[in-house]
Structure 1
Amino acid sequence: MNKPLVIILTAIVLDAVGIGLIFPILPSLLQEVTHADKVAQYIGIMTALYAAMQFVFAPVLGALSDRLGRRPVLLISLGGAAINYLVLAFAPNLWLLLIGRAIAGLTSANVSVATAYVTDISPPEMRARRFGLLNAMFGIGFIIGPVLGGALGDYWLRLPFIAAAVLNAANLLLAFAVLPETRKPSRERIDLAALNPLRPLRWIFSMKSLLPVILIFFVFSGTGEAYGTCWALWGSDAFHWNGLWIGLSLGTFGICQTLSQAFLPGPAVKLLGERTAILTGVGAVCIALAIMAFATEGWMIFAIMPLFALGGIGVPALQSLATRQVGEDQQGQFQGVLASVVSLASIIAPLGFSSFYFVVRDAWPGAIWLSVVALYAIGIPLVLGLKLAKREPMPA
């Protein structure tokens, strides 16, 4: 493995660590700066703001890297992330926290640049494997982040941000020293229309037969936002977990998801078929969520992690099923639409889940997980109704 690839993979890990480390400490941090007991809505706003900045700036950074080169965009992004985490470490009020989280979302949009860099340095026959490594590194970072954030946050709420700043600064220095440029700067003008993140969404309403699978992706992506938005609040309210236990529970969840998605989908689809694998995964997750809703002891959550692991077969099976809805010559356009839909769900869902948790927190915190089950229930008839015989042509 060459040095540039190692640096890019390290950057992806740090991006994921930065996303994950804030989850265990965010409720306590918001209580400190707002002096409010109920902070669920603030968490939803911060999570949605982070996702919105990624949604808007991922195409911008990608286009700038095509024009200016990959290296300067990556270096600026890493430097911005290091500075931003220092700002977050000493932010005295909510507004500065929101600004810092927005900048964090902007800088973490460099995943699109990292993907382009890997494409530049990888021959075609190695790209699939290296893109798999990118996904694996993100999973590893999201496992490390919550555990690190919870452990350090128990010593001092701001310490995780300082750790993230140091890690990003170290990676910046390493990248500056040994990361070569892979693309010559271009004098061509940037197509401003291509920077519009809503552009792919305009195709949705032109694809009537594809609307069910697009809606399934929107619903299932939305369910995933409940964990990052409400897990830490719920763990503290239901079991009085400290930052370390919240981090350990999120880290265990991440390990189960990573391992299951790495090893189970292939055999499951071969044995059950794509549609049945999706429904099996959804069923397993819904059982786990129902147990969480009524759980009275913290150990029960760790005990049901195998159910979440089984649920990990659902999304890869859905991705496989989705690719069969259009022809081979339209896969890129279709995947762009799905990526936009997933990003949109990441903006909307945190606001909905945080608002619902704000309502049910005092009476029954676990009700939040039944709301996720209800959202899954919307997608089940759509999965059952998907047809594979006819592929829908995409609009030009």
Structure 2
Amino acid sequence: MSATSTSSPKVNGKNALIFVLLTVVINSIGFGIMIPVLPDLLKELTGLANNEAAIHGGWLTFVFAVMQFICMPIVGALSDRYGRRPIMLLSLFGLSIDYFIMGFAPTIAFLYLGRIIAGAFGATFSTANAYIADISPPETRAQNFGLVGAAFGIGFMLGPVLGGFIGDAYGPRAPFIAAGIISMINVIYGFIFLPETLAPENRRPFKWSRANPFGSLKSLGRIKGVKGLIFVMFALAVAHTVYPSTYAFSTIEGLGWDAGDVGWSLGAFGLASIIVQGGLIRVIIPKIGLFWAGVMGMVSASIAYTGMGLAQAGWVIYAMGPFAAFAGLYNPALNNMMSTRVGKDEQGELQGAIGAAQGLALMIGPLMMTNVFERFADKTAPPYVPGAPFLLAGGLAALSLLIYVLVTNEDDRRARVSDVVEPGID
């Protein structure tokens, strides 16, 4: 039976898209709001210096990533079995609990508890991408994946600005409490308005043999090119961990910024991301094709990371903003290249496998980045290079581009979005 012959879920695709994008916006506000103040909260709870407190930031992300690595394939498989809506709502509820725990944490141990909960339920964006795959035909899927990125950009533009402002005015705990409130509102909103998009006939039985990172990769490995592209996404995700793990620490250390400066700069990045992923991507990808959009994104990422790593003044960080925004091209391009290789009943499993790869990246990346920062931000042990983690990320982005070229073929390079055909379902 072909994918085009199956019934579509009885929801308006446009309305479902709007609901998902609003959910991503609200959730990313909650995520971004805490970034500018996390260093201050860690220093308050541990009494450590800036470069030493960054190590706890890396371990917090590691704990979150371990839970994601284990749970994301399970969540993806559950969404293929029971539908997207209940899984999305459960995920959002878990994240809201995490923010409240972190906001009221009396000791550092409570921050770790919150991250465990968030990692176990952190399927928001993978489920959102499965939503997009459900409601988008192949020729518009990359653009709609880009809209998810733009929605994240909107929230990420507002979140750090709010976090920096609230943190400066009310202390480092207040943004976490605000994030919890925003996320709980999101749960209520989703419960009332979020539709189901996976039709019953497109669901498949839940199997533990496939609901784990190794089983899902083995299952998807039969599909040509998928494993190689997932590995590229993994390497890029390792590089991207430099933002949540060391951006605030690095700019505070190297440029003398405060939480407000960090928030405003991330807000500017979010605005640039909105312009690229919400608008330009709909022109760029149909014009140059998925493969070259991926190339453009990876080259831009390498330039952005390297520029930030070498920055000696704040304006350089802002100058790298457009490159950081164009880096957002690689994610929808890679996502679409993979999602069009699998059937409708495997979209959740694919997003779960991608989520597991990103979870593994979150296990490795933050520990790597924060340890590099601790070493090179120590003024007593030259060389003193607070931007060293970003230089490492730039190298990883360049390596990802090389691997990407090796795992794709001439057909991928020639293909345009209009050439993509939905696969059949076994």
User: TM-score under structure 1 normalisation?
Assistant: 0.79
Find the counterpart in structure 2 of residue 377 from structure 1.
398
Give percent identity, aligned residues only: 34
Query: How many Å separate the matches in 2 of 1:223 and 1:390?
Result: 28
1:102 to 116, 138, 142: 116
Q: Is it true that 1:234 corresponds to 2:234 in the alignment?
A: no
Find the counterpart in structure 2 of residue 161 from structure 1.
176
Which stretch shifts more, 213-222 or 365-374? Answer: 213-222
1:283-341 deviation per Cα after TM superposition (whole angstroms, max 9, x unaligned): 443333333223222122112322333444444455566679x6989995777654543
1:33 maps to amino acid: L
Gaps of 5+ in 2: 1-11, 379-383, 413-425
> Structure 1 residues 84, 317: closer, same or farther in 2, change over 3 A?
closer
Query: How many Å separate the matches in 2 of 1:176 and 1:387?
Result: 41
Find the counterpart in structure 2 of residue 146 from structure 1.
160
> Structure 1 residues 208, 167: closer, same or farther in 2, change over 3 A?
closer
1:217 to 211, 233, 243: 233
Which stretch shifts more, 352-361 or 260-269? Answer: 260-269
> Structure 1 residues 61, 274: closer, same or farther in 2, change over 3 A?
closer
> Structure 1 residues 204, 236: closer, same or farther in 2, change over 3 A?
same
Q: Is residue 61–residue 112 contact of structure 1 (8 Å, CA) maintained in 2?
A: no
Q: Is residue 69–residue 183 contact of structure 1 (8 Å, CA) maintained in 2?
A: yes
Q: Is residue 19–residue 145 contact of structure 1 (8 Å, CA) maintained in 2?
A: yes
Matches within 5 A, 1:125-204: 128=141, 134-155=148-169, 156-175=171-190, 190-202=206-218
Q: Is residue 58–residue 110 contact of structure 1 (8 Å, CA) maintained in 2?
A: no
Query: How many Å separate the matches in 1 of 2:22 and 2:63?
Result: 25
Q: Which structure exhibits the higher relative contact order, with contacts defined as CA atoms closer than 8 Å and separated by 6 or more residues? A: 2
Find the counterpart in structure 2 of residue 29 from structure 1.
41
Q: Is residue 24–residue 246 contact of structure 1 (8 Å, CA) maintained in 2?
A: yes
Query: How many Å separate the matches in 1 of 2:98 and 2:358?
Result: 26
Alignment RMSD: 4.2
Query: How many Å separate the matches in 2 of 1:73 and 1:214?
Result: 23
Q: Is residue 126–residue 355 contact of structure 2 (8 Å, CA) maintained in 1?
A: no
Q: Is residue 277–residue 314 contact of structure 1 (8 Å, CA) maintained in 2?
A: yes
1:251 to 259, 263, 267: 267
Find the counterpart in structure 2 of residue 41 from structure 1.
55
Find the counterpart in structure 2 of residue 347 from structure 1.
363
Find the counterpart in structure 1 of residue 314 from structure 2.
298
1:266-288 deviation per Cα after TM superposition (whole angstroms, max 9, x unaligned): 65456666655544443443333
> Structure 1 residues 321, 93: closer, same or farther in 2, change over 3 A?
same
Q: Is residue 276–residue 325 contact of structure 2 (8 Å, CA) maintained in 1?
A: yes
Q: Is residue 13–residue 138 contact of structure 1 (8 Å, CA) maintained in 2?
A: yes
What is the CA-CA distance between 1:232 and the residue it aligns to? Answer: 0.5
Which stretch shifts more, 203-212 or 380-389? Answer: 203-212
Gaps of 5+ in 1: none
Matches within 5 A, 1:307-386: 307-319=323-335, 337-362=353-378, 363-386=384-407
SS class of match (2:181): helix
1:20 maps to amino acid: G
What is the CA-CA distance between 1:87 and the residue it aligns to? Answer: 2.0
Find the counterpart in structure 1 of residue 423 from structure 2.
none
> Structure 1 residues 86, 303: closer, same or farther in 2, change over 3 A?
same
Q: Is residue 147–residue 248 contact of structure 1 (8 Å, CA) maintained in 2?
A: yes
Q: Is residue 275–residue 384 contact of structure 1 (8 Å, CA) maintained in 2?
A: no
